[in-house]
Amino acid sequence: MADIDAFPIDLTQFAKVSVNPWEQEALSPTQREALRANIGLCRDAIVSFTSVAGAAGLGGHTGGPFDIMPEMCLCDAFFNACPDLFVPTLFDEAGHRAAAQYLFSVLHGHMPAAKLLQYRRAHAGLPGHPECGTTPGVHFSSGRLGHLWGHVNGVCRAEPDKVVCMFGSDGSQMEGNNAEAARVAAANRFNVKLFIDDNDVTIAGRPSQYLKGYDVAKTLQGHNIEVAEVRGEDIDELFAAMRQAILHDGPFAVVIKRNMCPGVQGIEGSPHGHDVIDAKSAIKYLQARGRDKAAALLSSVEKVQDPHGSYLGAGSYGSCRTQFGEAVVRVLGCLASEEERRSKVVVVDSDLEGSCGLKKIREAYPEVFIKSGIMERANLSLCAGFGVGGEKRQGVFATFAAFQEMLISEVTMARLSHSNVLCHFSHSGVDEMADNQCHFGVNNFFADCSLEDEHGPKMQLFFPSGRTPA
């Protein structure tokens, strides 16, 4: 295996660019050239170390960090030119873009470049979402998608004479928290500037197809947020819009349109770029960019082995999420017709169908399936409303166990309404692939929110082991 202790791309080539948006109406040729070089260097680095993690079997996201490099590099240039006028933190509400935070931590001298090759490895301090105190140079905890804007509003209140910048995404903006944060920001004229990557891609597909009517810019305008829409790969157009945002008094959102992973052959514009890109595509990209050393390193990566060895049990084992989906499919198969299934069962996905076992249900019985967005509260409540009525109807809902924290009020109201809702909370517990607290389902007893002697329906909790017989 190649030297895993040496990062294969020379990040000292990253140029310190300073751009004062208050004084400059346009980028100079020198600034434009330096920014383009920085963006290319950063994107090459992102592909390199995220795909190393992917090849090792550790997962991690490539597309989001790759996409936002132009606006991050411009923000960095603003901070360099006017450090006293900004809160110099690259806040990001899309926590799965952690790779971008770790790269800039290296670029700002907080840790060595070789550390990036430990991305997502257990106990290495580079988890799937940024957290304060875990990684040098990371000054905020993003939580899950759509959980940061409200916090950033508080930063604006604490620093009223400074500009606060936050990077967003079309997926993050689906979360209901952002609707509340937008109204608060508009009402208080907080000086928050949002730079939102709108690539029309989430885990399970394209919002324009499965969530028709959703529009990031129109939604924000409805909350009285000023908005500009731009093409994200045009550096001059992007700078002009970001400058407009900075100079505006109050909240402003730049909605940045682009394909996911622009320029990555075979990946651009597809959901395949949302998670870590495959090694073959990454090697092809790196070689085309002249990054032969990075391609060679990636070719040598071996999968991480479970330090505890093989589990010797009762034969072949499969994941709980797969078993859940297959069990629901078997029950649906007992109903007589498509019309009966549609009238008696609804299954609602929150953009996690593959991760929660719901994909099997959609493929077998699409008539019961609603492919929805990253809106857990609304989706659970839909299931609850459908599931009212004795034994006549059943709602089925699934998300990660960690997200249970967001739903307790809705779970309580579903119980009080005597609703039939089967909730599958997957990914419970902790494993050796480094994720962190916002994704650890460590307390499923949050769902146990009924009183022991209460009249009416009782909450039923089931706790399968980490793996169940296939």
Per-residue tokens: 229: 């829409």
Phi and psi dihedrals of 198, rounded to 5? -110, 85
Per-residue pLDDT at 260: 93
Per-residue pLDDT at 441: 75
Per-residue pLDDT at 3: 46
Kindly list the distances between the CA atom of residue 157 and the CA atoms of 100, 169, 245, 254, 428, in Å, as whole numbers in the listed order.
26, 23, 18, 21, 36
Domains of the chain from N-terminus onward: 11-299 (3.40.50.970), 317-469 (3.40.50.970)
> pLDDT tens digits, residue range 183-201?
999 999 999 999 999 999 8
Per-residue pLDDT at 469: 39
Provide the b/e sequence for 356-365 (b: ≥16 CB within 10 Å): bbbbbbbebb
* Nearest by Cα to 444 from 461, 466, 422, 421: 461
* Nearest by Cα to 233 from 197, 274, 285, 276: 197
Cβ count within 10 A of residue 321: 20
Concatenated DSSP letters for 163-198?
Answer: BEEEEEETTGGGSHHHHHHHHHHHHHT--EEEEEEE
Question: Looking at the chain, how many residues does it have?
Answer: 470
- Sign, CA dihedral 177-181-184-186, equals negative
- Can you tell me the distance from the alpha carbon of 162 to that of 405, in angstroms, rounded to the nearest whole number? 33
- Can you tell me the distance from the alpha carbon of 225 to that of 260, in angstroms, rounded to the nearest whole number? 25
Per-residue pLDDT at 1: 35
Per-residue pLDDT at 468: 40
Per-residue pLDDT at 333: 96
Per-residue pLDDT at 433: 62
Cβ count within 10 A of residue 348: 25
Q: Which residues pair with 139 in a beta bridge?
A: none
Per-residue pLDDT at 205: 85
3-state class (DSSP) for residue 38: helix
* Nearest by Cα to 31 from 239, 289, 246: 239
Regions in the chain scoring below 70 on pLDDT: 1-5, 306, 309-318, 431-434, 452-458, 463-470
Per-residue tokens: 314: 């009762």
> pLDDT tens digits, residue range 385-421?
999 977 789 999 999 888 888 888 999 899 888 899 9
Concatenated DSSP letters for 119-154?
Answer: TTBTTSS--SS--TTTSTT------STT-SHHHHHH
